[in-house]
Amino acid sequence: MTIAYQGEPGAFSEAAARRLAPEATLLPCKSFEDVFAAVQAGQADYGVLPVENSIGGSIHRNYDLLVTHELPIQAEIEVPVVHQLLALPGTTIERLRRVYSHPQALAQCERFLRTLKGIDIIATYDTAGSAKMVADERLEDAAAIASARAGEVFGLTALASSIQDFDDNITRFLVVGGRPFHNATADKTTIVFSLTNEPGSLHKALSAFALRDIALTKLESRPIPGRPWEYLFYVDLAAARDELACARALANLAEFAPTLRVLGSYASWKSRAGWLPDPLKVVP
């Protein structure tokens, strides 16, 4: 089995892939688009994509990509995120003039970064990629915010550990692919739909689930490209698509929603503790 992820070795997306299938072959990709392309081309069986952080919120780009591609969601995984300030051996915090990392990681470490004076904070495309840049370019006055594993991979030392603002910093990942990842029983469904712009339309849509006692675990709106001020609504349902109540709710919604698509029906992270290897172990 091959799993594609965005970033360099040591990225948190790699940690998610390792947590999902420790024995899998991992395929690093430069961008989220490349992850989808690798799966669609058959280079990888599955792709792992971050969609939400418990502190920083949604990764909107990946919600958009779920719609523009036809790969269904096959699994969900959560990874605790612990950030380190990594630099070349011998570098001290006093020597630092630049700190690099992904915008989400920088936002998650805002309080720590405010304690660093006279230092430029620079956003990059990847946490582990920032560590690689510091190592490859021998940047003696720079550091990267990344995982402990990224430090091991690229030979950097931690000037400070666990620098995230909150201890309960968790990123949720979705696994996309052409076939089910495991025979676990689905208990969660992700859908996306549009609505006409008229009073009560969203209330009417959500009532299809409320009247059937189906809980919504997430509701997200995203602009529709080329149609200003019109939106797609992404919803996570605490039910399997094939459950009678859920099937009826979706049929009800389809009666008045101009577009409706099921992005995947899969086992939630909490329900999979029985078949994932060491599911509660924190991956470095």
pLDDT of residue 167: 87
pLDDT band at 183 (very low <50, low <70, confident <90, very high): confident
Active-site residue, selected from the candidate residues 124, 171, 189, 190: 171
pTM of the model: 0.88
Look up 171 and say whether it is catalytic: yes
Three-state secondary-structure class, residue 213: coil
Say how far apart CA 214 and CA 234 lie, in whole Å. 15
pLDDT of residue 275: 46
> Counting beta carbons within 10 angstroms of the beta carbon of residue 136, is it exposed (0 to 12), middle (13 to 18) or buried (19 or more)?
exposed
Residue 273, pLDDT > 60, answer no
Q: What is the mean pLDDT of residues 121-130?
A: 93
**Token pair listed for 269:** 């992270």
Domains and CATH numbers, the chain: 2-79+169-180 (3.40.190.10), 84-161 (3.40.190.10), 188-266 (3.30.70.260)
> 209 Cβ partners below 8 Å, 6+ apart?
215, 216, 235, 237, 249
Task: Please give the sequence-ordered ranges of beta strands (E in DSSP) within the chain, or none if there are none.
Answer: 2-6, 25-29, 46-53, 57-58, 73-80, 84-87, 98-101, 120-123, 142-146, 157-161, 170-177, 188-194, 216-223, 231-237, 259-266
Q: What is the mean pLDDT of residues 153-161?
A: 96
Look up 173 and say whether it is catalytic: yes
Residue 284, pLDDT > 70, answer no
Active-site residue, selected from the candidate residues 154, 173, 209, 233: 173
**Greater model confidence, 284 or 66:** 66
Span 70-125, pLDDT tens digits? 999 999 999 999 999 999 999 999 999 999 999 989 999 999 999 998 899 999 98
DSSP strand pairing (231-237 vs 120-123): unpaired
Span 243-272, pLDDT tens digits? 999 999 999 999 999 999 999 999 999 866
